[in-house]
Structure 1
Amino acid sequence: MKIEQLHELFLTCNGTSTDTRKIAKNSMFFALKGDNFNGNTFTQTALDLGAKYVIIDEVKFNTSKQTILVNNVLETLQALASYHRTYLKTTIIALTGSNGKTTTKELINAVLSKKYKTTATVGNLNNHIGVPLTLLAMSKDTQIGIVEMGANHLKEIDFLCNIAKPDFGYITNFGKAHLEGFGGVEGVIKGKSELYNYLIKNNNYIFLNADDSIQIEKLNSYIKKFGFSETNSNFFKIESVSANPFVTFKIDDILIESKLIGKYNFTNLCAASIIGKYFNVPLMDIKTALENYTPSNNRSQIIENGSLKIILDAYNANPTSMKAALENLSKLKDNTKIAFLGDMFELGNEAEKEHQNISDLASKLDIDSIYIVGENFNNTKSNSTKIKSFSSFNALKENFNSLQIENATILIKGSRGMALERILELL
């Protein structure tokens, strides 16, 4: 079946599904394969649960007029998404970066939805499956689509760009994330910059943080850019006011008081602001959108629990974001400050050095107690009496009562696999 014909069938469906546990009635089900599952084996289950069509790539499951046999289900999903994107002619904004992608995406969506019908990536479905699903969730009445793109190796962003064909793009930053896959920081910069390369090749607009030296250097001679800066008069001026703990800033002398903590969220808020300005969203609507946005999903959440103020930032971590979170905690004007830090994953050969760097940094900052958790952190060395290490979460749990935590501001941060949000139950 040609992709045009498949698209015609898709338009008669109620969206897409890839998981029979969350299947939508009259949807098009894609029987994807993974290391530990084969979606083809769920063909009949999907039909029984109400799928209108099931896309399969194993002939023995082609037993119904509702099953459509293709060479490769994943490649078909990607091709259909790319065709649908061209069919819609929707304006697409793509964003990537080492830190802050999902928060920035949500902020941009909050701002633009004040004026436009938008569709944005759900959660962090930002990979070779998530991006196609995001595009297929858009309809003819979607005026602007906001597509988050994640990557852990070279050529991945380029691949996603060729599916989504963005008209605009923004890179949050270049940090020490996925060093194992990218082969180092230079690989990270090269990989994330694939978004720039695509936009420049197609003469499309780029949004940028003009205070980021890497972005300025790469885009110095490119004309179609719109950026923000605290100091560079050639770009839109945004003034940082405070971050104790919530980020407050000014645009055109209008004060915006967010519910996001940490100076590191300032640039995320700035990006959403200037993208709103570019698309002519009224400034007071931008203010309302940003002030009403509340973080969730273990990202920069503030949780009050008796005498404790908890900064839950346990969705993920890398050396760049860990450093920013620790420095932010140290600057808070609170009496007692405590950090629970979990291992940072996907650092490859740099793991030992980067965990030691974070341990060394934490010991020097204005933080009263630092509890480091995981094999990598447990192997670091420190003479500081402020640092106590635990080889695993269970080890921390067994000794937790002896820590005697009260009347404190607490940072909880670690990679997703550490699941440090479990500390909430202990607190």
Structure 2
Amino acid sequence: MKNMTLSNIAKACQGRLILNNHHDTTIKGVEIDSRKIEKDYLFIAHKGARVDGHDYIETAYTKGAIAVICEKAPANVDMPYILVNDSLTALKDIATWYRMQLDIPVIGISGSVGKTSTKEFVSSVLSQKYRVLKTQGNYNNEIGLPLTVLQIKEEHEIAVLEMGISDFGEMHRLSNIAKPDYCLLTNIGQCHLENLGSREGILKAKSEMFDFMNKDGSVILNGDDDMLSTIPQVKGKIPLRYGLSPNNHVYADNIISHGLLGSSCHIHIKDEIIPVKIPMAGRHMILNALAAAALGSVLGLTNAEISQGIEQIRPVSGRNNIISTDKWTIIDDCYNANPVSMKAAIDLLVMADTRQVAILGDMGELGLKEEYLHKEIGIYAASKNIDIIICLGKLSSHMYKGAKEILVSNNDRLFYFETLDGLIEALPSILKKDDTILVKASHFMGLDRLVEKLQA
């Protein structure tokens, strides 16, 4: 890792290096999980809600850690360590300093819905020309983002960083670490209303990404989003806009749906047309492809490379992941949920040409309007003429009430369960062979367990 000697690391986080005869030693990686430590790694010990990393310092050294960052001196240790006041602050300070040593383009991606899918599209496209480092899993917060930055190695030519927030100020801090050259915002929906209050608040919080953007950087926005359309320029430059409307710089037409198999369309960039096949279904996936095409064009990819990158995209577990078994088809979209993504998932289910079953669970962090927004989803699902609607969770009782207003005389199509165990017990009597089953809820509902049961 470039310039990552123990002495430089200690300076970056304002720590005190003990056993500094190793001050010129260079680390090869950084981890906060002792189970993932490899030879010559730096282990950052911090006290979490359930586990204190200081209890695993000896384990980290045994696995090959070259040094440890800690808040209290470890006992009986003759290896280097760096004492700091706060380990997680040190992690962010180190990542911020390390980012300044890098001379590769960094792309920051955020938005209320579709961050991860857009990141996957962008990474797939850019990997046709560059060696790409992308955010893995849910490493998009104030712990995950610095760890991702610290995974960038000499062989990488570009980094694609997902940036997730739930309150004001978080994006400002993430932007300070990432210092993106390109800022991409997918949309402004109704996530984290509990903290951010309104869509205007969400826009303000997401726009903090621009605070530390490279002065010569570029902003890419979903031009079809009503809130993002209110941003006329950023740091004196007009954003590059993508969307389905031909008013955007990058747009799509001649769209043909292939059901759950995806869609095909023509992507327009400047005066050129790129025919593409998108192997993931839904209107939102076309928008993700357009975002990737926009970035690809800015970063010098050919039309053939853009098309190939889009066609090679594969779903991520828990996000529009279509699983076929010998009994039924499962739409695994249970990683997260909010009103916008919930409606998009329902629209996707409607494309199925079999009996349709929607298993819809609670959505989190919606603030004072949570009951109303859950009821609205129930009404929306019922209006789509879905064969079976199953509402799961305490908040989803309001979803059930909303659906019941539409399905007054069709209660055999509507079910409510407060607990997942109760649903799992009842499912064999509800489901039929060849059903297409949507599983959608916020992550805290634990519906990945249900997806595993359905697969088994």
After superposition, residues 328-339 of structure 1 pair within 5 angstroms as 328-330=348-350, 332=351, 334-339=353-358
Check 1:10–1:87 CA distance in 2 against 1; reply closer, same or farther (3 A cut).
Answer: farther
Alignment match of 1:406 (pick from 415, 424, 433): 433
- 2:311 maps to 1:295: no
Q: Counterparts of 2:222 and 2:49 in 1: how far apart (Å)? A: 39
Give the TM-score normalised by the residue count of structure 2: 0.87
Q: Distance in 2 between matches of 1:398 and 1:206?
A: 49
Q: Separation in 2 of the partners of 1:238 and 1:321?
A: 21
Encode CA deviations 1:317-344: one digit per residue, 9 max, x unaligned.
Answer: 11110011112323x1514211111111
User: For the Cα contact (< 8 Å) 2:123–2:134, is it kept in 1?
Assistant: yes
Residue by residue over 1:196-224, the C-alpha shift from the partner in whole angstroms, topping out at 9 and shown as x without a partner, is: 4544x935210122222222211358524
Specify the alignment match of 1:248 in structure 2: 264
Partner residue of 1:278 out of 295, 298, 311: 298
DSSP 3-state at the match of 2:289: helix
Shift of 1:304: 1.4
Which stretch shifts more, 8-17 or 34-43? Answer: 8-17
Q: CA deviation at 1:149?
A: 0.6
Return the alpha-carbon distance in structure 1 between the equivalents of residues 390 and 445 of structure 2.
Answer: 14
Amino acid at match of 1:250: H
What is the letter of the counterpart of residue 52 of structure 1? Answer: I
Worse overlay, 92-101 or 56-65: 56-65
The whole-number CA distance in structure 2 between the counterparts of 1:186 and 1:26 is 46
| Counterpart for residue 358 of structure 1 | 377
Contact 1:169 1:206 survives alignment (8 Å): yes
Say whether 1:94 aligns with 2:113: no
Partners of 2:63 and 2:105 lie apart in 1 by 34
Residue 206 of structure 1 aligns to a residue whose secondary structure is: strand
1:55–1:355 Cα change, 3 Å? same
Is it true that 1:219 corresponds to 2:242 in the alignment?
no
Equivalence map 1:196-215=2 (5 Å): 196-199=210-213, 202=215, 204-215=217-228
TM-score by length of 1: 0.93
User: How far did residue 168 of structure 1 move?
Assistant: 1.0
Cα shift at 1:62: 8.0
For 1:417, give the aligned amino acid: F
Cα distance in 1 for partners of 2:454, 2:24 equals 48
Q: Deviation per CA, 1:212-264, whole angstroms, max 9, x where unpaired?
A: 22222113585242222333346123326133221322124432112212112
AA partner of residue 265 (structure 2): F
Are 1:10 and 1:28, in contact at CA under 8 Å, matched by a contact in 2?
A: no
The farther-off stretch of 219-228 and 268-277 is: 219-228
Residues 59 and 205 of structure 1: CA distance in aligned 2, closer, same or farther (over 3 Å): same
Q: What is the CA–CA distance in structure 2 between the aligned matches of 1:422 and 1:38, rounded to whole Å?
A: 28
What whole-Å deviation, never above 9, does each CA across 1:303-323 have from its counterpart, x for those lacking one?
Answer: 112352221111111111001
Q: Does the 8 A contact of 1:343 with 1:415 survive in 2?
A: yes
The 1:164–1:220 alpha-carbon spacing in structure 2 relative to 1, beyond 3 Å, is: closer
- Whole-Å Cα distance in 1 between the matches of residues 364 and 250 of structure 2? 36
2:284 is aligned to 264
The letter for the 2-side match of 1:51 is A
Q: Secondary structure at the match of 1:87?
A: coil
**Where in structure 2 are the equivalents of 1:68-107 lying within 5 Å?**
68-107=82-121
Between 183-192 and 124-133, report the one with greater CA deviation. 183-192
* Separation in structure 2 between the aligned mates of residue 182 and residue 212 of structure 1, nearest angstrom: 18
Q: Pick the aligned partner of 1:50 from 40, 64, 77.
A: 64
- Give the SS at the match of 1:219: coil
Counterpart residue number, 1:305:
325
Deviation at 1:128, TM superposition (A): 0.7
Query: Structure 1 residues 303 and 240 mapped into 2: Cα distance closer, same or farther (>3 Å)?
Result: farther
Moved more, 317-326 or 230-239: 230-239
Within the alignment, does 1:368 sit opposite 2:387 as a pair?
yes
Deviations 1:119-161 (A, max 9, x none): 1111220111111111111123322111111000011001100
Are 1:25 and 1:49, in contact at CA under 8 Å, matched by a contact in 2?
yes
Aligned counterpart in structure 1 of residue 343 of structure 2, from 298, 323, 332: 323
Which deviates more from structure 2 when the two are superposed, residues 176-185 or residues 94-103?
Answer: 176-185
Identity %: 33
Q: Alpha carbons of 1:391 and 1:11: their partners in 2 closer, same or farther (altered >3 Å)?
A: farther
Matched residue pairs, number?
425
For 1:254 and 1:233, the matched residues in 2 are separated by 17
Say which of 5, 9, 20 aligns to 2:34: 20
Give the distance between the partners of 2:144 and 2:23, measured in 1 at CA: 21
Residues 82-136 of structure 1, C-alpha deviations (whole Å, 9 max, x = no match): 1111111221111111111111112111111111122111122011111111111
Which segments of 5 or more consecutive residues in structure 1 lack a partner in the other structure?
none
* Secondary structure class of the residue paired with 2:363: coil
Q: Secondary structure at the match of 2:160?
A: strand
Residues 62, 68 of structure 1: 8 Å contact kept:
no
